[in-house]
Amino acid sequence: MMFPCLSDLNKLGGLVAVTKELNHSDPGIRTVAAWVLGKASQNNPIVQQQVMEIGVLSKLMKMVNSNSVEEASKALYAVSALIRNNLATQELFFGEAGGWMLQDILNNASVDIKLRRKAVLLLADLAGYQLENVDRGEPPFFSDQNLLKSVVDLTASTNLDIQEKALVAIKSLLQLRTTVTRVFKDFCDLGDALNRVRQLLHDLMEDEYQRDYVMDLERLRVEVEHIFQKKLAHQ
């Protein structure tokens, strides 16, 4: 939910004041500043554009590499809020090599699980938004085989939330025009990954406390497998 009058924050000089705190020596203050920018920008195209015009995207993206998990997490939250459902700000994000930033996070198993969850969620959002804007050229990183493999590999996580977000991302990525399904099959071993997920979910069905969620995940997995097999047959 948006705070009231957030669109007026820039008129009061608030956005500039907050963005200055991104350079503060205290990581706690930088973290709060990133959170405020993310909160203000969320689902608010006016504020998204205002923040982008101040020119802090590259700073936030650098903060994503912080040794502080909380700072990195809030910085990625702010980046996500700035570019979600906004074609203009996404172009700036891709221009700053944002796609490769996400790939670095997803490829690194040592990165905190919260950050990887945010990264795969953002990737899923970007791929989904691309599907809704078919006239827009697809950024090349969407079809990068290492990126695709890093997402497929996340399905091996024991964290069901990560598995769900990975499956959602794969579902959208499979439907992009530039995606080569053979890469998913031969390089990413998506078929084997989906089978492993099926077995895991089957075993978890015994837990009545998780059963409903597990059944939802299985339906999503089946949907992904259907799209995969259908596209594979046509390539």
pLDDT over threshold 50, residue 22: yes
- Of the candidates 114, 93, 185, 101, the one whose C-alpha atom is nearest the C-alpha of residue 148 is 185
Chain position carrying tokens 């700036």: 92
Can you tell me the distance from the alpha carbon of 225 to that of 171, in angstroms, rounded to the nearest whole number?
9
The whole model's pTM is what?
Answer: 0.89
Summarize the confidence of residues 59-68 as an average pLDDT.
95
User: 3-state class of 125 per DSSP?
Assistant: helix
Average of per-residue pLDDT values in the chain: 90
61 within a domain of the structure (yes/no): yes
Q: What CA–CA distances, in Å, run from 106 to 58, 70, 114, 138, 182?
A: 19, 17, 11, 20, 21
Residue type, 191: G
Torsion of CA 51, 52, 58, 60, to 10 degrees: 30
Same structural domain, 164 and 227: yes
Domain count, the chain: 2
Answer yes or no: is 202 within a domain.
yes
Q: Dig out the tokens for 27 from the structure.
A: 């990581």
In a domain, 101, yes or no: no
Domain of 77 in residue numbering reads as 1-96
CATH number, residue 68: 1.25.10.10
Count CB-CB contacts under 10 A for residue 140: 10
pLDDT band (50, 70, 90) for residue 2: very low
- Nearest alpha-carbon partner for 51 in 24, 75, 25, 26: 75
Whether residue 210 contacts residue 204, with contact meaning beta carbons closer than 8 Å, is answered with: yes
Does the pLDDT at position 113 exceed 70?
Answer: yes
Question: Per-residue pLDDT for 222 more than 80?
Answer: yes
Q: What is the pLDDT of residue 4?
A: 43
